[in-house]
Structure 1
Amino acid sequence: MHALLILDMQMGLFHGPDKPWAGEALLDTLNTLLSKARSAGAPVFLARHVGPPGSPIEPGSPLTQLVPQLLLTGNEVVFEKNRPNAFATTDLAGQLKARGAEGVVIAGMKTQYCVDSTCRAARDLGFDAVLIAEGHTCSDTPALSAQEIIAHHNATLAGPFCRVVRAEDWHF
């Protein structure tokens, strides 16, 4: 069984000054994945990135709250992380194993940071890592457009680090 892991879909990133590329389409994809996971009885985890006390993203900050556009039921496991890799300094791996998950389907933000780091770590920890091709996003940078960053990561991560699958082709 695979669990769904949605990374950092929080107010400060999604509704911040640097708008994510194709944000509305991403929300639709994530809500479809949430529905598929619920229908299959797959566990759902949502990570919120927090910083140290006194920072703009300190625990409890409005900027770290999940976006209300996600169709959540309250049965999800919501946890805080303070590293790009969602497994670092959290009990995510243990919680996945406790729920019988052999794999993790990864989606959310931001492609070149937390999505990338978590995909790589999941495989290293023995999980079947699946990245949803259109299930992650970021903002443009001075060096590359968000579209280029997403395409690059889908191509680079596929194979050695994870399987890259379109949401419509994924079944929990």
Structure 2
Amino acid sequence: MKDGPISLIVVDMQKGMKEPAAGVRNNPDAERNILTLLTAWRNASWPVVHVRHISRTPDSPFWPGRPGAEFQPELAPLDDEHVVEKNVPDAFVHTGLERWLHVRGLGQVVIVGVSTNHSIESTARSAGNLGFKTTVVSDATFTFAQEDYAGIPRTADEVHAMSLANLAGEYTTIVSAAEALKLPGSRRPL
């Protein structure tokens, strides 16, 4: 797919991600960096996609109608911004996102949001595999501490770093928010 305007994909920035039950996280400035990018994209009239996870599990904070499923107010979509609802980590599975991007000639995507090792990693892998020029913003994504497969506790920073390492090169380019603000491919500079 050829380069064209760049679409910002904001993944799962919902109120439930701020609940203490979500766990210990990294990148405390991620929301600020996401807002900086979102503001720049809006000022440049670049396309923005907001992805919302809608759980199939009734006791989940992301169950439809629960406060946790709502977008965080400061990162909520504007009326003219596209919203995708998903039920699995990957924003491309059964959502029409790929078609929406193709119809608009959008060959580049910049992915931000949560969580790095789940929705960000799976969405970025699909984007890369589908031929999109894919960028993940390291300081505009975050994740949570968890145990690895061997039962060893890993910090959120360790989980985040390994997830980014899984993506780097083969599926996506990893950049900082400052670097993302300088990406080429738009009709207007940021």
Question: Normalized against structure 2, the TM-score is what?
Answer: 0.83
Q: Helix, strand or coil for the counterpart of 1:169?
A: helix
Q: Helix, strand or coil for the counterpart of 1:122?
A: helix
Kindly tell me: are residues 19 and 11 of structure 1, through their superposed partners in 2, closer, same or farther at Cα, counting changes over 3 Å? farther
Q: Helix, strand or coil for the counterpart of 1:78?
A: strand
**1:112 paired residue number:** 117
RMSD: 1.7
For the 8 Å contact 2:24–2:156, the answer to whether it is kept is: no
Percent of aligned pairs with the same amino acid: 31
User: Which range is displaced more, 142-151 or 110-119?
Assistant: 142-151
Partner AA of 2:54 in structure 1: V
Q: Which has the larger radius of gyration?
A: 2
CA positional deviation for 1:7: 0.7
Kindly tell me: are residues 160 and 50 of structure 1, through their superposed partners in 2, closer, same or farther at Cα, counting changes over 3 Å? same
CA positional deviation for 1:19: 4.5
Q: Does 1:30 align with 2:34?
A: yes
Note the residue ranges of structure 1 that are not aligned, 5 or more in a row. Answer: none
For 2:144 and 2:17, the matched residues in 1 are separated by 9
Q: Helix, strand or coil for the counterpart of 1:148?
A: helix
**1:84 paired residue number:** 89
Q: Does 1:154 align with 2:164?
A: yes
Residue of 31, 37, 58 corresponding to 2:63: 58
User: Which range is displaced more, 153-162 or 54-63?
Assistant: 54-63
Q: Does 1:101 align with 2:81?
A: no
For 2:94 and 2:18, the matched residues in 1 are separated by 24
For 2:47 and 2:74, the matched residues in 1 are separated by 20
User: Which range is displaced more, 121-130 or 140-149?
Assistant: 140-149
**2:134 paired residue number:** 129
Q: Deviations over 1:19-47 (max 9, x none)?
A: 43233x11110011101211222110111
Note the residue ranges of structure 2 that are not aligned, 5 or more in a row. Answer: 148-152, 184-190
Question: Normalized against structure 1, the TM-score is what?
Answer: 0.91
For 1:11 and 1:65, the matched residues in 2 are separated by 6
Kindly tell me: are residues 68 and 158 of structure 1, through their superposed partners in 2, closer, same or farther at Cα, counting changes over 3 Å? same
For the 8 Å contact 1:34–1:71, the answer to whether it is kept is: no
